[in-house]
Structure 1
Amino acid sequence: MKIAHIALALSLFIQAGDAKSADVKEPHNHPQEVFPAVHGMVLFGDEQLYASHIPMFMIPHDWQALFKVTLKHTSADALELYKTVQAPGTPQAMFTLKPKPFLLPELLEGKIKSFKASLYQGNFENKGKLLLTDIDVVVEKVLEVSHLHASNPPLASLHYFSLQVKGKSYLVHKISALNNFDQIVQVEWINDARPPVSTLTFNFPDNLLSKLKAGQYYSLDAQGSLTETSEESKAALKVVGEFYCTVGPDFFLPCE
């Protein structure tokens, strides 16, 4: 993927003349994707695992996608190995998958159901520790797909995809514009609150300065929007911690 960073500026120039909707759901309408590539992903979760594609604003990486996945290996228990590092009940740490090259649209369309990958603790492109190779990553479900276009403006407010499993909750920032950010945080719903919808809206502008931060509390209004509050007793959501955040357009450099 590092070679891909070099070609990013040229790709952005090409994309600027090809603006479409930011929520394209039909990967087969992307004919420029004609070659396999390494599509890195962030892995997170507990008994249930999720993978978030690390995008770039260039072909063939210009898709934000979330997957529900399982791990299989011929000679090792990949899930148990993951859990020896990510112990149950501890704050989520950062893990990444470095797949062997494949066609991303085929995965998004369900034409392929799995891919081979190596598992790293940390970022495989930035001094991550290799844990296991030749893992079969099986996609149980494609949860979210958004096509990224360089000419799209940022959304008026922050949007996050919401994921919950067995007492753990995660929010994944919806990427909307070129200089946006890719962030995943662990959160806790408190005071008997529950996520009202699968995509949450926060009453802040969609930019890096407004990203969610550990220790913040948010109240939930009748319309389902969240606003920061200093009163825990009135809050519906607590941000436990951030374990992944990179900045666009190539989503390689960390947010801080």
Structure 2
Amino acid sequence: MLLALPPVPQLVLQQVPPSQERTVAPRRMGTHGMVLFGAGPRLYLSHIPMFHRPHDVQLLLAVSLEPQEAGAVPTDFSQGTYTVEPERFDLDALASGKLQRFRATVYQGNFEGGGTPVAREVTVKVEAVRYQRVLSDPAPALGAPRYLVLGEGSEVYLVHVLSHAPDFDQVLRVKLDRPLPRRDGPPPVLRFEGRENRLERRLQAGERLQARDEAGAPVGVEVQRELSFLKGPDFTP
């Protein structure tokens, strides 16, 4: 005699369209202008920030440029102000490393303040994200100015560390009396003790100063050129 077995329940799987899988809406979409500096194969971008979305991130990148035609882009951005006006993208995707290439126009001068285009449709390739901090996150007030150090050897670049509004954004080319130790991770930081962290007291070309590295050791600094200076809180030219 055969026993009647209860029907086996069927499991129905609903396939989620690929466009809906782990979709994260862009949080900082916009045109994120940047200061371009460096020379030869070592180039850097410093995002021009604000203290509100979508620009509320201090972000430093090591990059390379891929022009449409050979020789269409200068190779030395250490003698004056250069900026890039990129296509629209999500700044969070750039900071996280998800966005590794974007197109941009390179300007001599500030693209928002009378700059002159020197190359269009340039592909910017992100080699490394060197530093990032969301400006709306809590941060201690800086009694003395601090600068991030980009580059190797004695001739390097300093970028002012942002803390609280209104603050100021500054990029300098300097010469150190000794190279700083190479390391992975965030750039080294120099502190200029005995100097107020105000735009009126920012470092000036021609100054010879004494700074302290992260271990507290003295470092002599000769400021050669100011490559960019933008006054907060809107950081416009």
TM-score in same-fold range (> 0.5)? yes
Structure 1 unaligned blocks of 5 or more: 1-30, 227-234
Q: Which residue of structure 2 aligns with residue 18 of structure 1? A: none
Q: Which residue of 1 aligns with 2:149?
A: 162
In the alignment, what sits opposite 1:115? 102
Check if 1:217 corresponds to 2:208. Answer: yes
Structure 2 counterpart of 1:45: 38
> Under a length normalisation based on structure 2, what TM-score does the superposition of the two structures give?
0.79
Taking the aligned partners of 2:68 and 2:136, their CA distance within structure 1 comes to: 39
| Residues 166 and 157 of structure 1: CA distance in aligned 2, closer, same or farther (over 3 Å) | closer
For residues 224 and 32 of structure 1, the distance between their equivalents in structure 2, rounded to whole angstroms, comes to: 43
Residue in structure 1 matching 2:86, options 99, 102, 107: 99
Kindly indicate whether residue 188 of structure 2 is the aligned counterpart of residue 198 of structure 1. yes
Amino acid at match of 2:192: F
Deviation at 1:152, TM superposition (A): 5.3
Q: Is the 8 A contact 2:154 2:176 kept in 1?
A: no
1:75 to 56, 62, 69: 69
Q: Which amino acid aligns with 1:65?
A: L
Q: How does 1:132-171 map to 2 (within 5 A)?
A: 132-149=119-136, 154-165=141-152, 168-171=155-158
Alpha-carbon contact 1:154-1:206 (below 8 Å) kept: no
Residue matched to 2:233 = 249
Distance 1:147 1:71, change over 3 A: same
Deviates more, 1:156-165 or 1:179-188: 156-165
Distance 1:220 1:160 in 2: 10
Equivalent residue, structure 1, for 2:21: none
Larger helix share, 1 or 2: 1
- State how far apart, in whole Å, the 2-side matches of 1:216 and 1:146 are: 29
Check conservation: 1:94, 1:122, Cα contact below 8 A.
yes
After TM superposition, the structure 1 stretch with the greater mean CA deviation from structure 2, 159-168 or 145-154, is 145-154
Q: Following TM superposition, by how much is the alpha carbon of 1:76 offset from its aligned partner in structure 2, in angstroms?
A: 3.7
- Offset at 1:220? 4.6
Q: Distance in 2 between matches of 1:163 and 1:35?
A: 25
Deviation at 1:108, TM superposition (A): 0.6
Give the Å deviation of 1:163: 1.2
- After TM superposition, give the deviation of residue 33 of structure 1 in Å: 5.2
Count how many residue pairs are aligned between Structure 1 and Structure 2.
206
Percent identity between the aligned chains?
35
Distance, in Å, in 1 between the alignment partners of 2:139 and 2:101 is 31
TM-score (normalizing by structure 1): 0.73
Deviations 1:20-54 (A, max 9, x none): xxxxxxxxxxx995363100000010111101000
Equivalent residue number for residue 25 of structure 1 = none
Is there any run of 5+ residues in structure 2 with no aligned partner, and where? 1-23, 182-186
- The 1:32–1:59 alpha-carbon spacing in structure 2 relative to 1, beyond 3 Å, is farther
Secondary structure of the structure 1 residue equivalent to 2:164: coil
**Aligned counterparts of 2:211 and 2:35: Cα–Cα separation in 1:** 28
The verdict on how the C-alpha distance between 1:152 and 1:221 changes in structure 2, with shifts beyond 3 A counting, is closer
CA RMSD of aligned residues (A): 2.4
Letter in 1 for 2:43: L
Confirm or deny: 8 A CA contact 2:105 2:122 kept in the other structure: yes
Asked if structure 2 preserves the Cα contact closer than 8 Å seen for 1:42 and 1:96, the reply is yes
User: More strand per residue: 1 or 2?
Assistant: 2
* Residue 3 (structure 2) aligns with: none
